Structure 1
Amino acid sequence: MIELPFSWLYDDTSHFFFTLQQPERRRICSPQYVKDIWQSEFDGLYEEGGLMTLVLHPQCIGRISRINMLEDLICYMKTKPGVAIGPALEISRLARKGLEQA
């Protein structure tokens, strides 16, 4: 069994979900703010050889400014040697293959 790590920090709803309800009232973060967080986290995880599992909801990330931010982030990630980007199933298969070779 392969388990991919999860953190609310990498979930788009943590940054873009808006509510007026108390006490959870939250503002909508700018795409640049979220990109700064995710890129900084990626850089740290890349240096440590870690894995970053983004959780993206179409109804949340699917706005033009957010999609553009995500595209910029993915393009940045692809500049780093050895980075694999794909759906969870594909990444878990790569992880299993790596474990079998170890």
Structure 2
Amino acid sequence: MTTLEYKDSKFHETSNEPMSGISLKVDDQAKKLILTIPNDASMIQRRAAERNARGIQKTGYMTKKGASIGRGFELVIEGTGGGLPDRLKQSPREVY
């Protein structure tokens, strides 16, 4: 399993635990990309990381060894960070 860390608006390959909190684990056996988003992540960070993860899902990620991983894998998002605040989930107007 390869772990990618999200920093500087991109995913980077890492050999230890990710420092930024947002990470993408590439599970080759289960053919899954597991995007982990901590509770303290902002909505902007979450959306940007999710877009990058979907890009890896479509085209793959080129590792330092030159192999392409993650293409065609299922994307699974774990964690509740970066969601809409409760005040934005409801319309301020009534629907007629």
| TM-score, normalization by structure 2 | 0.33
Larger RCO: 1 or 2 (CA < 8 Å, sep 6+): 1
Alignment TM-score, normalising by the size of structure 1:
0.32
| More strand by percentage | 2
